[in-house]
Amino acid sequence: MFDFGIIPPAMFLGMIIFMLYGFPVAFSLAAVGLFFAIIGIFTGHFGEVFLQALPLRFFGILSNDLLLAIPFFTFMGAVLERCGLAEDLLEGTGKLFGGIPGGIAYAVILVGAVLGAITGTVAASVITMGMISLPIMLRYGYNPRLATGVIAASGTITQVIPPSLVLVVLADQLGRSVGDMYLGAIGPSILQVTIFVLFILVMSIIRPKSMPPLPKEVRGDFNWALLVRVLMGMVPSIVLIFLVLGTIFMGLATPTEAGALGVVGAIVLAAMNRRLTWPLIREAMSSTTHITSMVVMILIGSTCFSLVFQGMDGSRWIEHMLSGIPGGPVGFLIFVNIFIFVLAFFLDFFEIAFIVIPMLAPVASSLGIDLIWFGVLICVNMQTSFMHPPFGFALFYLRSIASKDVKTSDIYMGALPWVGMQLILVAIVIFWPQSVTYWLDHGPKVDPNAIKIEIPGFGGQLGLPPLGGGGNGSPQIPGLSLPPLNGLPGAPPPPAK
């Protein structure tokens, strides 16, 4: 524990104390980092010159093109949150599946997945689906715990489904491609939606009264007009998904450029729904500025902390402490996911990504763990931070829009089964890494030891013949023999006869 001194664990403890006391995370990290930097200089861990890297790191953050994707995706989600797309999708799919037990729950899960693929924000998904679906579900006999749980969980799928902001931040912190992170997240996204749908299917068989079908006068007739209406609501979403994700996967655009395309597509969709107004744009820009500023300030504070932490041999302390965990890579992954699950009770996903991941990534790499697999696994785990009581943000969002008839205890208790299903997905990804790596393009498999380079020479030999020639019958190139060195300054003396 203290093989590398007491300062690294003291830094970590100081950071936790500051956060528990209620100071803003960004300023807490910067304050702890600068305080221990003074201690490090006086104790001789490093000199003042070491801190000259700090301004360069700040400039690197502000000039990082990858992080420019965050305001683009945030602005796109803010526009789509207000343009009425979610309302149209929920209304159409609710009527499409409303005739079967759990029909609205199926619609919420599917629409949550679609919204996750085009907005990337939990708040927009949970608030929108809660305002539209929750009153209908409660009015027609749905169990309150089931109704609130499926809405909150379907909103958090956004964190795993590309273009998730969490995946962008994790790619930056792990030094990996955002496109690869998005590809790796496809498998877990499909699995998470499948697990949720299967749960509703089982519950509709076991307890059909907890999720009754909608009356026919509410859902209307199932006909081609309804099907066409649902498809027409899906087509703009599919086009926008292609603009954002298809261009990245096909190599036509970087994540930043795809985010810009997504913004254009979101504005066009808002105009098509006749909801593109200046107040909408102003609100979206205000929300984007707030979130982007928060992310940049947390990143600057965490950079200050991590630089001093490394100067104190903190990275070696972390590696020494975690590399000895029994069970090898699997044991390390189990421990890390339990650790992050506990941290998620108190920290936001941005804070976990900026503070904890840079400490864990070198250890994971030294154990031979694929960092794309590691990043997607952490992303799957961090979606639980929005769900588990009492600090889950999705539960706060749902409480803010739910009527007073819905008890807070019902919201908390309803979230527990869905947290369990999210943890099931964590276990699946740990013990089945192919669920992530299958979608990645690893390129051709080449063994460097099998590479042999042959350069054809003269007379079937490799290389040129000696310039001087003469010895052992070797050929000589006329006019290219070296002059005698005798008599030149610094030349060795001639051999004795």
- Domain-located, residue 47: yes
Domain presence at residue 285: yes
The answer to whether position 493 is within a domain reads no
On whether both 291 and 401 belong to a single domain, the answer is yes
How many structural domains comprise the chain? 2
Residue 443 lies in a domain: no
pLDDT of the residue at 241: 80
With vertex at residue 60, the alpha carbon angle to CA 57 and CA 61, rounded to the nearest 5 degrees, is 90
pLDDT score for 484: 57
The whole model's pTM is what?
Answer: 0.76
Q: What percent of the chain has pLDDT over 70?
A: 83
Q: Which of 437, 453, 473 is the last residue of a domain?
A: 437
Share of the chain above pLDDT 90, in %: 9
Same domain, 111 and 215: yes
Q: Are 189 and 245 in contact (CB under 8 A)?
A: no
Residue 185 to residues 179, 278, 370, 453, Cα–Cα distance (Å)? 10, 35, 14, 39
Assess whether 115 and 26 both reside in one domain.
no
**Residue 494: per-residue pLDDT:** 60
User: In angstroms, rounded to a whole number, what is the distance separating the alpha carbons of residues 344 and 357?
Assistant: 13
Res 2: pLDDT: 46
Please report whether residue 244 resides in a domain. Answer: yes
As a dihedral over the C-alpha atoms of residue 464, residue 470, residue 471, residue 476, rounded to 10 degrees, the angle is: 10
Residue 274 lies in a domain: yes
416 & 268 share domain: yes
pLDDT in tens, 202-231: 998 998 888 888 777 666 666 677 677 777
Same domain, yes or no: 126 and 48:
no
Q: Nearest to residue 358, comparing CAs of 105, 227, 172, 119?
A: 172
Q: Is residue 367 part of a domain?
A: no
Same structural domain, 147 and 38: no
Torsion of CA 187, 72, 292, 386, to 10 degrees: -30
User: What mean pLDDT, rounded, does the chain reach?
Assistant: 79
What is the per-residue pLDDT across 33-56, written as a single tens digit (0 to 9) for each?
888 888 888 887 777 888 888 888
Domain identity same for 54 and 132? no
The verdict on residue 169 lying in a domain is yes
- Decide if 119 contacts 76 (C-beta within 8 A): yes
- Co-location of 139 and 178 in the same domain: yes
Do 98 and 52 share a structural domain? no
Tell me the residue range of the domain where 119 lies.
68-297+391-437
Same domain, 158 and 39: no
- pLDDT tens digit string along 408-450? 888 888 888 999 999 999 999 999 989 998 877 655 555 555 5
Q: Are residues 80 and 56 in the same domain?
A: no
Kindly state the average pLDDT of the residues 6-20.
79
Inform me whether the pLDDT recorded for 485 exceeds 60.
no
pLDDT at 89 over 80: no
Inter-CA distances, 115 with 38, 120, 186, Å: 48, 7, 15
pLDDT at 271: 87
Of 62, 81, 103, the position where a domain reaches its end is 62
In the prediction, which pLDDT does 1 show? Answer: 44
Higher pLDDT, 56 or 495: 56
The per-residue pLDDT for range 349-382, each reduced to its tens digit, is 777 888 888 888 888 888 888 999 999 999 998 8
> Is residue 161 pLDDT above 70, yes or no?
yes
Domain shared by 11 and 81, yes or no: no
Tens of pLDDT, residues 297-341: 888 888 888 888 888 877 777 777 777 777 788 888 998 888 888
Q: What is the pLDDT of residue 449?
A: 55
The answer to whether residues 418 and 387 touch, using CB atoms and an 8 Å cutoff, is: yes
